[in-house]
Structure 1
């Protein structure tokens, strides 16, 4: 023990206690402030998320209607029995799956191509970035109404086709083209959003990797295959999940442009649930549709998560 330590006087306990008290009080004050800041988000999350989910589980097993003189009563699995024998539900589910299968790879691929084109340092590239992203900041309602006029029998699209001698159909009233028309419009509107995400992923890849590969004579395709694509692994996982979720939630385009027609060829599960619950006022049946759809989306999400985790482990 050093001499300075031996000569240091002991600190009285009545001095140590006041020194520790403010720290404890400051900690409680910080926790109180954090609790107050979290309260609005917690209240909103409870009212608009947890309560509707709980009501969906409860109402799905009743005969509740939006407006009805009859009291609500428990009916067991009657709504689910009706749902699984409902041809409209299976058609809506098939349309949703087709929409998702087409939109996810096509939109992701186009967005990646655009990101590669604008990931350069040249004059005027910011103009093209703005043009490609402009549909994203426009409301889907406005976009749907705009394309509704484009798809009319005497609209812009058929007018352009007539100039080259092609007679265009009534795109949104023909069972062979209605869903494809909505798919085309949806991809056009959302591709710019995922282009920006791809671009952010591209800019995280070190330029030194491309310089080193150029010195050993790597081609552009080899650089993309062995540098760009592996470097975008986390980005493409995020894009896959976001596009899939958005595709399963297809509603606005259908509600404005076709209302599920013609002959349910553009009806989706979300549109059927909303139409059944509000237009037909069958709240319980709509809740059963939403509950089954929730299980389907949850299963798809778990599969995506498993496949992504399996690839990460393999690497």
Structure 2
């Protein structure tokens, strides 16, 4: 039965409504506005009138195809090879620029692999967006379990009433309260390829045998370097969440486990971990959301490079929307990101449901 609007309810709504109004004005309304912009060709500054393009922006971003290139053959039917003995293939542009294949027009090569004598090439309408999509998923898949596990280990270590434990809690949490821009600048100096602290330490440990690496200038190390910094920066925040969950577990359960002769691993498996179920769900969701929102580290440390190896969805949305003044493109990426995060959140909710 619905409760009546009492004086206390009226006072509560009076306090809540300003917050709801702000959320609706600055979050809900702009989101629906972004959905509308994603179906147009709107630019930030353009003399041309805005036109409705439907799902064309989504097709431009998500367009993918696989093209098979067969070896070139001579009149006798033999495979043509160059002077180095490599098999010769037709140029991809002969397909992507041909009127015979209008569905491939304007698409570019993303990656390829060999399948027997044939070459399989994945082409995309927007290769940079695809790289950003893969990098974002890779970042989340690596950072979420590693950061969550390290935070849990730290929480277990400091969940003891011993002298000086608050000092360690403060030290572990300190990077969280520092601005992410400041942390990113600090780690950019640490990763410097010439006089960076990391290279200096590794050279000292190997007595000069280690060759300096440009961690942020190498496509194979740039994204892992950003991952390592992100894990270090936010692990203290999730440690506090784990610690709050640990302190809700009744000490009598640990006493009962000790009386039964349970080992430390058995105690963790059958007492601690079941008691942290709801906390684990919260930590997983928070890390996932933070991972998909990756922007500041990329903007400060790599600016999406080198060779687009650290492009992410949020960075691409901001870069296109404001850097290239392509508001419709940035809005489209934002809507796609929202759909991805919503789908993952629903999957996480289903996987962690009560059974």
The TM-score normalised by the length of structure 1 is 0.88
Instruction: Indicate which of 170, 184, 208 corresponds to 1:130.
Output: 170
In the alignment, the residues of structure 1 paired with residue 183 and residue 21 of structure 2 have an alpha-carbon distance, to the nearest angstrom, of 33
Instruction: Establish whether residue 282 from structure 1 lines up as the match of residue 341 from structure 2.
Output: no
Runs of 4+ in 1 over 4 A off after TM superposition: 27-32
The runs of 5 or more residues in structure 1 that have no matched partner are 1-23
Equivalent in 240, 245, 251 of residue 196 of structure 1: 240
Q: Which residue of 2 aligns with 1:162?
A: 203
Q: CA deviation at 1:28?
A: 6.3
Q: Could you tell me which runs of 5 or more consecutive residues in structure 2 were left unpaired when the two chains were aligned.
A: 63-124
Distance apart, 1:173 and its partner CA: 0.6
Partner SS, residue 249 of structure 2: coil
Question: 1:123-144 deviations in whole A, cap 9, x for unaligned?
Answer: 1111101000000111111100
Shift of 1:121: 1.3
Query: What is the match of residue 267 of structure 2?
Result: 223
Shift of 1:168: 2.8
| 2:247 is the counterpart of 1:247 | no
**Structure with the higher helix share, 1 or 2:** 1
Structure 2 CA distance for partners of 1:38 and 1:219, relative to 1, 3 Å: closer
SS at match of 1:174: coil
Once the two structures are TM-superposed, the CA of residue 37 in structure 1 deviates from its matched residue by: 2.2
Q: Which of residues 251, 257, 260 is equivalent to 1:213?
A: 257
Per-residue CA shift, 1:247-279, capped at 9, x if unaligned?
111111001110100111000011001100000
Match of 1:264, SS state, is coil
1:15-74 C-alpha deviation (Å, 9 max, x unpaired): xxxxxxxxx9xx665555444323321221122012211111110011100111112111
Encode CA deviations 1:70-98: one digit per residue, 9 max, x unaligned: 12111122211211121111110100011
The answer to whether residue 141 in structure 2 is matched with residue 141 in structure 1 is: no
Greater RCO structure (CA 8 Å; 6+ sep): 1
Give yes or no for the alignment of 1:257 onto 2:235. no
User: Bigger shift: 155-164 or 170-179?
Assistant: 155-164
Give the paired residue count.
286
Residues 128, 54 of structure 1: alpha-carbon distance in 2 compared, 3 angstrom cutoff: same
Partner of 2:222: 178
* Residue 65 (str. 1) matches residue 109 (str. 2): no
Q: Identify the structure with the greater strand proportion.
A: 2
Is 1:92–2:132 an aligned residue pair?
A: yes
Q: Distance in 1 between matches of 2:233 and 2:9?
A: 44
> How large is the RMSD of aligned CA atoms in angstroms?
1.4
Q: TM-score, normalised by structure 2?
A: 0.78
